[in-house]
Amino acid sequence: MTDDRTQHNHGPAALRTRWRGALVAARAGAEGPDPLPYADNLLARWAEPQRKYHTTAHLAAVLDRVDTLAGHAADADAVRLAAWFHDAVYRPDRSENEERSAVLAERALPEAGVPDAVTEEVARLVRLTVTHDPAAGDTNGEVLCDADLAILAAPPKEYAQYAAQVREEYGFVPEEAFREGRAAVLRQLLGLPRLFRTPYGTAEWEPRARQNLLTELELLTR
């Protein structure tokens, strides 16, 4: 899933630079503490050992997709900050990851100099990734959700790697139970009228994503 407009160095230094840019823009000229310790805290979270898919590579990919879709967002920098926080707390055996990630944003961003209104928007967007179902006209939500789900439209080999990484994260779940649970998730996604809400996502990602989901479902239910 490459796009000439979204080619970036995904190493820690580049990610720190991207964090600084989004945070300083969100401050809108206000003074605040050094952004980099916040970046380092978040990068350490994204590098935790229980993560196989929800890693810094996923973070970088979501940020790339936000860049691709930024023109659709009302506040692209708030969406970028939400991307940083959306899986900042991630334990595969827990169900409250999004809520805990949103609370982390609500605690960290005001301390980092971000205005309350932007902090509230970031936390709202993080919570939206529970359902990936933004309301009509919620352009920030549409961009974040599309960026997060863009992996579904990856080329087949990359999609298969994603599916294998998800299985690895849920290694504590017995095979039959995992197959049943994953198949239910895939059917729920396939039942949605649209996986993607932005014009770009609808045109560029929707057809291939549906084919990938159908292929994975067929493999799971053989």
pLDDT tens for each residue of 97-118: 999 999 999 999 999 999 999 9
pLDDT at 6: 39
- Phi first, then psi, for residue 167 (nearest 5°) are -60, -40
pLDDT, mean of residues 157-171: 96
**Position 216: which residue type?**
E
Q: 4-220 adopts what CATH topology?
A: Catalytic domain of cyclic nucleotide phosphodiesterase 4b2b (1.10.1300)
Lowest mean pLDDT among 142-146, 147-151, 188-192: 188-192
The reply to whether the predicted model has a pTM over 0.95 is no
Q: Is the pLDDT of residue 17 over 50?
A: yes
Cα–Cα dist 118/82, whole Å: 10
Residue 61 CB contacts under 8 Å (≥ 6 apart), including other chains? 1, 150, 151
pLDDT at 222: 85
pLDDT, mean of residues 57-67: 97
